[in-house]
């Protein structure tokens, strides 16, 4: 990652170095050294007149233009190559700058989104739900036999708002299940629902709902009683928010909050 960043930062220098190396290579090969034409017979050196004639013939066939950099400029092929390389250099440089600008724009947008989310979370309503057993007799009662027994209970769902913005509760759903393991917080026909709009404001008394639920199965024999539910509400920032909760009943009378994320998720 660090190597990639260094290459991006040094791209103009590297590209310019590549252009210079290419120009030098082309200029060095512009006019290859002239070779003397050897005599065909027994390596006999040509006479001065023949040597002058051969030299004049080679000079007439050689391309015009002096060697080196001026030779490169004089050659149409060299000029074209230089123009292409220079164009590619600037195109690549511009593409890299555009890529950097796009990355910067994404980072800026992400930072703005995070800032807006943090601001909303600091001002929005936060509804918390808690389950309590009423004072008095044992919270659980039972009906039926071993094979068709049911567990019955009533309890209180206490809802309060710990956020700065008022909340309006419009739905509460609870259910009890007797099972060996904590069930998924999914509701069926045995759940109890409370529909109605209840305003809940920070630092004011919580609302209390007293449902009466029944679940198939008996504690210890078929598992443990689990009570779970969801509170749905709205506030000034969203029309749909919800808070889940879940408890297991220990020793037929003691409620213990479930730490599972499924029973503590919120929106």
Does the residue 208 lie in any domain?
A: yes
Does the residue 42 lie in any domain?
A: no
Contact between residue 221 and residue 204 where contact means Cβ atoms under 8 Å apart? no
Report residue 73's pLDDT band, with 50, 70 and 90 as the boundaries.
very low
Q: Are residues 77 and 164 in the same domain?
A: no
User: Which of 45-54, 95-104, 176-185 comes out lowest in average pLDDT?
Assistant: 45-54
Does the residue 183 lie in any domain?
A: yes
Q: Are residues 208 and 137 in the same domain?
A: yes
Does the residue 250 lie in any domain?
A: yes
Q: Are residues 17 and 80 in the same domain?
A: yes
Q: Please report, rounded to a whole number, the percentage of residues in the chain having pLDDT higher than 70.
A: 69
Q: Are residues 143 and 245 in the same domain?
A: yes
Q: Are residues 212 and 228 in the same domain?
A: yes
Q: Are residues 84 and 193 in the same domain?
A: no
Q: Are residues 210 and 169 in the same domain?
A: yes
Q: Are residues 172 and 232 in the same domain?
A: yes
pLDDT of residue 163: 95
How confident is the prediction for the chain on average, in pLDDT?
79
The model carries a pTM of 0.62
Q: Are residues 91 and 165 in the same domain?
A: no
* CA nearest neighbour of 241 among 96, 129, 103: 129
Domain end, chosen from 56, 91, 121, is at 121
Q: Are residues 97 and 168 in the same domain?
A: no
CATH of the domain at 200: 2.60.40
Domain of residue 21: give its range. Answer: 2-31+66-121
Domain end, chosen from 121, 153, 186, is at 121
Q: Are residues 252 and 144 in the same domain?
A: yes
For residue range 26-56, list pLDDT tens digits in order.
555 545 444 444 444 445 555 555 555 566 5
Does the residue 46 lie in any domain?
A: no
Domain count, the chain: 2
> Residue 75 pLDDT > 70, yes or no?
no
Q: Are residues 138 and 242 in the same domain?
A: yes
């Amino acid at each position: 990652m660090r190597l990639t960043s260094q290459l991006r930062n040094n791209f103009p220098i590297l590209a310019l170095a590549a252009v210079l190396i290419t120009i030098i290579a082309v200029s060095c090969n512009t006019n290859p050294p002239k070779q003397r034409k050897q005599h065909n017979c027994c390596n006999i050196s040509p006479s001065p007149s023949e040597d002058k004639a051969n030299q004049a013939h080679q000079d007439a066939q050689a391309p015009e233009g002096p060697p080196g950099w001026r030779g490169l400029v004089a050659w149409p092929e060299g000029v074209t190559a230089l123009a292409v390389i220079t164009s590619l250099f600037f195109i690549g440089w511009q593409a890299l700058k555009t890529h950097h600008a796009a990355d910067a724009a994404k980072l800026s947008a992400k930072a703005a989104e995070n800032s807006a989310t943090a601001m909303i979370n600091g001002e929005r309503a936060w509804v918390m739900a808690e389950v309590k057993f009423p004072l008095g007799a044992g919270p659980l009662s039972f009906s039926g036999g071993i094979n068709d027994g049911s567990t019955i209970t009533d309890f209180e769902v206490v809802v309060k708002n710990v956020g700065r913005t008022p909340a309006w509760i419009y739905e509460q759903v609870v259910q009890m299940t007797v099972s060996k393991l904590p069930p998924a917080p999914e509701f069926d026909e045995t759940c109890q629902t409370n529909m109605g709009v209840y305003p809940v404001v920070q630092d004011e008394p919580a609302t209390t709902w007293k449902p009466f639920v029944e679940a198939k199965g008996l504690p210890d024999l078929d598992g443990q009683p689990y009570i779970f539910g969801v509170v749905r509400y709205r506030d000034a920032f969203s029309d749909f928010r919800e808070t889940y909760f879940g408890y297991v009943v220990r020793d037929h009378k003691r409620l213990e909050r479930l730490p599972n994320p499924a029973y503590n998720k919120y929106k």
